[in-house]
Amino acid sequence: MTRAAPNKRKLTIIFLQKLKPQARAFMVWDLHQRGLALRVEPTGYKAWKVVYRHHNRPRWYHLGAADAIGLADARTLAAEVMLDVIKGKDPAAEKRARGAGTFAELAGRYLEEHAKKKNKSWEQADYLVRRYLLPAWGRLSAQSIARSDVRAVVGKIAGPSLANQILAAASAIFSWAVKQDLVEINPCRGVERNETRSRERVLADAEVPLFWRAFDDAGLVRSAALKALLLTGQRPGEIIHMRREHIIGAWWTMPGAPCPEVGWPGTKNSLTHRAWLPQAVRDIIAELGNGEEPTGFVFSGHGRRAIKELDGAMRDVCRRLGIEEKVTPHDLRRTHGSTITALGFGREAMNRVQNHREGGIADVYDRHEYAEENKRVMEAVASKIIALAEGRSAGGKVVPLR
C-alpha cells in the first residue's frame, strides 16, 4: 500500500482563512519554510508544528495555536527551531525537559490559553479543579502525576457522577498539555469511569400543583425563572440568561454562539434556536417589570452563581415539600418534554422544540417551516401544565399536526 504524498504548498493568509476541517485530522506543509506544518483537527482547532529528525528519528515540536500565532511569526519560530536542529540540538526534548511546571501552573495555563476560549462550561470545570484537584496536586510537578494519583483522588469522591466530572476535568487539562508537548502522557487514560444511570425524574401530574405553589416561596425572580423553565422546556442555563433583546414578539431567539459582551453563553449545541413563549410565560415576564427596557437579563442574573441559586431554590422547594427524591431544574425541562410526547406530538416535536441534536434532527429541520407547529406544541403544553397547576382539567383532546 503506497503512502499518500504530503500535502505541500506555499501557505498564504487567504489560504489559511479558507482552510476547513475534515472528518479526520490532516496536515498542510509549508513550501516556504522547511519543517513547518499546520495540523487541522476535525473540531476546527489548528496548530503549528515543526517536524524534524534527531538521530534519524522524527521529532514533533509544537509551536502553538494558529489563532494565536500568525503565518509570518510561525515561519520565524520554525526557522529558529530548525537552526537549533542544525546545531545538533533536540528542541522538542528540551521543551519537554522544561516541562509544564506544577500542576497548578499547568491548570492555570490551560484555563487562560484554551478553556476560556473554547469551552462554554469552563467555570464548572474550573470549580472542580480548584475544589478537588489543586489541594491534592497543586504543588506536584505536572509531569510526575501518575495514574495511581488520579485513582487516589477520584476514589475519594462519594458521588459517582461527581467523580466522573472530576476525572473529565483532569483529563481535559492533560490532553491539552500532551498536544502542547508539555507532558508526555495523559495519566487519566485507562482510569475507568463510574457507571451512572441517566436521570428519569419527571413531575407526576399530582406533583405539578404542589411545586407550582411552592415556587412562589422562592422569591419573585427565582419563582418566575422556575415557572418559565417548566412552561418552555428550555435548558436552565439558557433560561437564567434570557435577554430581552432576544425576544421579538413572542419568539425568543437564542444565538448559538456565545456573546460575552452581554453575558449570553450560547446554546449547548452551538445551534441558534427559536422558542415560542406561550402567553403564560409572557405574563410571568411582564410581572417582573422593566418591560419598557429593550435590553438586559429578564431574570436579573447570569453566570455560574445564578445557576447555582436556581439549583438551591429547587433544593429548598423539595425540602419544604418533604420530597426525598430531589428534583433539579433540569427535571423541569424533562417534565416539559414528557408532556409533549404524552399529548401525542411525538419525539421529533420534542427534539425540535427543546433544541436537541439527537440523531441529527436539529440539523435538518427548517425552523421557520415548523414555526406554526412549534407554536401549537408550546401553547398546548403550557395549557396542560397551567391546568394541572390550577387543579382543573386541561379540557379537550389535543390532536397533533401530521
Q: Do 307 and 246 reside in the same domain of the chain? A: yes
Q: Do 39 and 169 reside in the same domain of the chain? A: no
For residues 16-42, give the mean pLDDT.
91
Structural domain includes residue 93: yes
Q: Do 253 and 374 reside in the same domain of the chain? A: yes
Rounded to the nearest 10 degrees, what angle do helices 329-342 and 303-321 cross at? 70
Percentage of the chain exceeding pLDDT 70: 89
Q: Do 94 and 167 reside in the same domain of the chain? A: no
**Is pLDDT above 80 for 121?**
no
Structural domain includes residue 292: yes
For residues 68-91, give the mean pLDDT.
92
Beta bridge partners of 50: 36, 61
Reported as a single tens digit per residue, the pLDDT across 292-325 is 667 889 987 666 778 888 888 999 999 888 887 7
Q: What is the pLDDT of residue 5?
A: 62
**Is pLDDT above 80 for 97?**
no
Q: What is the pLDDT of residue 135?
A: 92
**Is pLDDT above 80 for 168?**
yes
Q: Do 295 and 224 reside in the same domain of the chain? A: yes
The DSSP-derived string for 197-240 is PPP-----TTTHHHHHHHHGGG-HHHHHHHHHHHHH---HHHHH
Structural domain includes residue 307: yes
Q: What is the pLDDT of residue 268?
A: 85
DSSP one-letter code for 130? I
Percentage of the chain exceeding pLDDT 90: 48
Residues in the chain: 402
Structural domain includes residue 309: yes
Q: Comparing 47-61, 282-296, 321-335, which segment has the lowest mean pLDDT?
A: 282-296
Q: What is the pLDDT of residue 399?
A: 37
What are the angstrom distances between the C-alpha of 181 and each of 62, 96, 220, 254, 267? 6, 6, 51, 38, 32
Structural domain includes residue 191: no
Written as nine digits, the cell of 224 is: 418566575
Max mean pLDDT among 97-101, 143-147, 396-400 falls in 143-147
Q: For 180-215, b where at least 16 C-beta lie within 10 A, e where not — what string?
A: bbbbeebbbeebeeeeeeeeeebbeeebbbbbbebb
Structural domain includes residue 203: no
For residues 117-146, give the mean pLDDT.
87
| Nearest residue to 349 (alpha-carbon basis) of 236, 233, 269, 241 | 233
Q: Which residue range is the domain that position 280 belongs to?
A: 208-389
Phi first, then psi, for residue 373 (nearest 5°) are -70, -40
Strand ranges for 241-338 from DSSP E: 247-248, 251-254, 273-276
Distance between CA 291 and CA 316 in Å, rounded? Answer: 29
Distance between CA 212 and CA 230 in Å, rounded? Answer: 9
Q: Do 384 and 253 reside in the same domain of the chain? A: yes
- CB count within 10 Å of CB 101 equals 14
CATH number of the domain residue 62 falls in: 3.30.160.390
Q: What is the pLDDT of residue 325?
A: 76
- What's the pTM? 0.58
Query: Based on the structure, what is the number of domains in the chain?
Result: 3
Reported as a single tens digit per residue, the pLDDT across 356-401 is 865 444 444 455 678 899 999 999 999 999 999 988 755 444 434 3
Q: Do 93 and 110 reside in the same domain of the chain? A: no
Structural domain includes residue 190: no
Mean pLDDT of the chain: 86
Q: Do 347 and 369 reside in the same domain of the chain? A: yes
Reported as a single tens digit per residue, the pLDDT across 235-287 is 999 999 999 999 999 999 999 988 888 888 888 888 899 999 999 999 999 98
